[in-house]
């Protein structure tokens, strides 16, 4: 008699852009091992705001069957009650970065984010070695131990860690 392997849970994680994709890939590399019982697929919606990210995620979710589908995006563009309703109707776990990804991560370190987008990007650069799209650059300030210890500060980080079974 052959042993059957337990079925892995499947998770589709969509990041709004290259920075979110790198962050998600970094976390996957640190938290999801072969024995985790979790198969994680990470995709990049290539920006264009919350509405586009949710619509793009819906299309991606149709291409394969996933147990859980989640999207990480900024709320500063096109995030509305209608888009929220659309995500809920399609059972997409919303990982909303208020107002944006960089601001959410800076708050974890007690930094008050700049309101101006250019200043905010500049403020965030030291935390990712000047390149937020490089997944290894999240290791120093946003490794799993740091995120786990500060998860209570940001609901989105807490939900993301729960999805990754951390």
Evaluate whether residue 80 is within a structural domain: yes
Evaluate whether residue 105 is within a structural domain: yes
Over the stretch 119-166, which tens digit does the pLDDT of each residue have?
A: 999 999 999 999 999 999 999 999 999 999 999 999 999 999 999 998
Evaluate whether residue 65 is within a structural domain: yes
Over the stretch 34-90, which tens digit does the pLDDT of each residue have?
A: 777 899 999 999 999 999 999 999 999 999 999 999 999 999 999 999 999 999 999
Task: Determine the pLDDT at residue 60.
Answer: 96
CATH (domain of 25): 3.40.50
| Pair 49, 6: CB distance under 8 Å | no
Evaluate whether residue 3 is within a structural domain: no
Evaluate whether residue 2 is within a structural domain: no
Evaluate whether residue 4 is within a structural domain: no
Residues 6+ positions from 51 with CB-CB distance below 8 Å: 78, 79, 80, 83
d(CA 166, CA 146): 12
Task: Determine the pLDDT at residue 4.
Answer: 56
Q: Is the pTM of this model over 0.75?
A: yes
Over the stretch 78-130, which tens digit does the pLDDT of each residue have?
A: 999 999 999 999 999 999 999 999 999 999 999 999 999 899 999 999 999 99
Domains: count for the chain: 1
d(CA 56, CA 38): 23
50-75 burial, b if ≥16 CB within 10 A, otherwise e? bbbbbbbbbebbeeeebebbbbbbbb
H helical segments located in the chain: 18-31, 49-62, 81-89, 101-108, 117-124, 139-142, 144-150, 155-163
Residue 2 has pLDDT above 70, yes or no: no
Neighbouring-strand partners of residue 72: 15, 95
| Pair 61, 69: CB distance under 8 Å | yes
Task: Determine the pLDDT at residue 166.
Answer: 84
Evaluate whether residue 22 is within a structural domain: yes
Task: Determine the pLDDT at residue 7.
Answer: 77
Evaluate whether residue 125 is within a structural domain: yes
The domain in which residue 58 lies consists of 9-163
């Amino acid at each position: 008699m052959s042993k059957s392997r337990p079925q892995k849970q499947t998770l589709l994680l969509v990041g709004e852009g290259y920075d979110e994709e790198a962050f998600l890939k970094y976390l996957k590399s640190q938290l999801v091992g072969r024995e985790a019982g979790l198969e994680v697929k990470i995709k990049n919606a290539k920006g264009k705001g919350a509405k586009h990210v949710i619509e793009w995620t819906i299309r991606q979710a149709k291409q394969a069957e996933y147990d859980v589908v989640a999207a990480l995006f900024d709320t500063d563009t096109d995030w509305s009650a209608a888009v929220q309703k659309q995500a809920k109707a399609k059972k997409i776990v919303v990982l909303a970065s208020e107002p944006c990804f960089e601001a959410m991560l800076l708050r974890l370190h007690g930094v008050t984010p700049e309101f101006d987008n250019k200043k905010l990007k500049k403020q965030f650069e030291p935390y990712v070695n000047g390149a937020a799209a490089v997944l290894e650059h999240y290791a120093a300030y946003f490794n799993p131990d740091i995120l786990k210890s500060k998860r209570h500060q940001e609901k989105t980080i807490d939900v993301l860690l729960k999805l990754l079974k951390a």
